[in-house]
Chains A and B, each alone.
Chain A
Amino acid sequence: MDLHLDADDLNACVQCGLCLPHCPTFRVTGDEAMSPRGRIHLMREVQDHDAPLTDEVMESFETCVQCRGCEPACPSGVPYGHLMEQTRETLADAGALTPLWQRLAFKPLASPTLLQTGSSALAIAQRLHLVPKRLGISTELPIRRRPLEASGTDVYFFTGCVMDAWQRDVHRSGIRVVEAAGFGVTPTNELAPCCGALQAHAGLAEDTRSLAKKMMANLEPGRPILVDSAGCGAAMKDYGHLLGTPEALAFSERVFDIQEWLAGHMDRLPVAEPLDLRVAIQDPCHLRHVQRVHDATRTVLRPYVRELVELDDEGLCCGAGGAYSVLQPDLAGQIRDRKVASIERSTPDIVASANPGCSMHLAGAGVPTVHPMELVDRALGRADTAP
Chain B
Amino acid sequence: MSILDRLRGGRTAHDVDPLLVELQAALTPERVKMDSAQRSLLGKDASMFEGGVSGPICYPTSTDEVVAIAKIAERHGRAIVPRGAGTGLAGGAIPLGAPVVVAMTKMNAILEIDEENGIAWVEPGVINLDLTRHLTPRGFHYAPDPSSQQVCTIGGNVANNSGGPHCLAYGVTNPHIAALEVVTATGEVLLLGGLDAEPDGYDLRGVFVGSEGTLGITTKIAVRLTKNRPGVRTLLLSFATIRDAANTVSAVIAAGIVPAAMEVMDQKITRAVEHYVHAGYPIDAGAVLLAEVDGAEAGVDIDADRIRELGIANNATEVRLAADETERALLWKGRKTAFGAIAQIAPDYYLHDTVVPRSKLADVLDQIYEIADRHDVLVMNVLHAGDGNLHPLLIFDGREDGVMERIQAAGEEIITASLAAGGVLSGEHGIGVEKQPFMDQLFTSDDLDHQNRLRRAFDPTCRANPGKVLPMGHSCADIQQLRSVPTGVWG
Contacts and interface: CB of A to CB of B under 8 A. Distances in A.
Query: Is there any pair of Cβ atoms, one from A and one from B, under 8 angstroms apart in the complex?
Result: yes
Nearest to B43: A41
Interface string B39-73: 01110111000000000000100000000000000
B59 to A, nearest CB: 6
B50 to A, nearest CB: 11
A198 interface: no
Contact of B41 (A41, A52, A312): A41
A58 B8 contact: yes
Contact of B7 (A53, A56, A75): A53
B32 to A, nearest CB: 12
B44 A15 contact: yes
A33 B105 CA distance: 13
Main secondary structure of the interface of B (DSSP, over half): loop
A55 B148 contact: no
A1 B40 CA distance: 17
Contacts of B108: 30
B28 interface: no
B347 A55 contact: no
A332 to B, nearest CB: 18
A58 B11 CA distance: 11
Contact of A16 (B106, B129, B148): B148
A54 B10 contact: yes
A116 to B, nearest CB: 35
A156 B312 CA distance: 58
A331 B123 CA distance: 23
A95 B9 contact: no
A60 interface: yes
A58 B7 CA distance: 10
Contacts of A18: 87, 148, 150-151
6 contacts: A16-B46, A17-B46, A18-B150, A31-B59, A55-B10, A75-B340
A21 B148 contact: no
Interface of B: 3-4, 7-12, 33, 35-38, 40-42, 44-46, 59, 85-87, 103, 105-106, 108, 125, 127, 129-130, 133, 148, 150-151, 337, 339-340, 343-344, 347-349, 398-399
A49 B216 CA distance: 35
A12 to B, nearest CB: 5
A154 interface: no
A75 B35 contact: no
B36 A14 contact: no
Contacts of B4: 95-96
A75 B10 contact: no
Given A14-B348, A38-B41, A51-B40, A20 B151 contact: yes
Nearest to A19: B151
Contact of B36 (A20, A37, A54, A95): A54
Nearest to B61: A30
B9 A52 contact: yes
Contact of B347 (A11, A57, A312): A11
Given A11-B399, A20-B86, A95-B7, 9 more contacts: A17-B86, A20-B151, A32-B86, A52-B8, A52-B9, A55-B35, A60-B37, A74-B340, A76-B347
Contacts of B340: 74-77
A37 B340 CA distance: 16
Interface in A52-104: 52-58, 60, 73-77, 94-96
A55 B46 contact: no
In the complex, the 7 A-B pairs of residues with the closest C-beta atoms, listed nearest first: A52-B9, A30-B105, A75-B340, A76-B343, A75-B339, A56-B35, A56-B37
B127 A21 contact: yes
Nearest to A59: B37
A45 interface: yes
B127 A41 contact: no
Interface residues of A, number: 39
B162 to A, nearest CB: 14
Given A14-B347, A17-B151, A96-B4, A30 B37 contact: no
A236 interface: no
A362 interface: no
A42 interface: yes
Contact of A20 (B11, B85, B339): B85
B372 to A, nearest CB: 19
Interface of A: 1, 8, 11-12, 14-21, 30-33, 37-38, 41-42, 45, 51-58, 60, 73-77, 94-96, 312
Nearest to B44: A15
A33 B36 CA distance: 11
A54 B340 CA distance: 33
Contacts of B44: 15, 41
Given A33-B37, A76-B343, A96-B7, A54 B12 contact: yes
Nearest to A20: B151
A52 B36 contact: yes
B148 A54 contact: no
Contacts of B9: 52-54
Contact of A32 (B12, B41, B150, B339): B41
B3 A56 contact: no
Contacts of B347: 8, 11-12, 14, 76
Given A11-B399, A12-B347, A14-B347, A95 B148 contact: no
A51 B36 contact: yes
A56 B85 contact: no
A77 B10 contact: no
A38 B36 CA distance: 13
A54 B11 contact: yes
B226 to A, nearest CB: 20
Residue from A14, A77, A94 with most neighbouring chain B CB atoms (10 Å): A14
Contacts of B36: 51-52, 54, 56
B42 to A, nearest CB: 7
B148 A30 contact: no
Contact of B339 (A38, A51, A76): A76
A32 B59 CA distance: 11
B37 A31 contact: no
Contacts of A42: 37, 40-41
A70 to B, nearest CB: 11
Contacts of B125: 30
Contacts of A33: 37-38, 41
Nearest to B83: A32
Contacts of B130: 21
A53 B108 CA distance: 31
B105 A31 contact: yes
A96 B339 contact: no
A96 B37 CA distance: 17
B106 A96 contact: no
A187 B57 CA distance: 54
Nearest to A42: B37
Residue from B40, B108, B148 with most neighbouring chain A CB atoms (10 Å): B40
Nearest to B105: A30
Nearest to A41: B41
A16 B349 CA distance: 11
Nearest to B88: A17
A54 B7 contact: no
A56 B39 CA distance: 11
A57 B7 CA distance: 11
Contact of A312 (B37, B133, B151, B344): B133
A111 to B, nearest CB: 29
Nearest to A21: B151
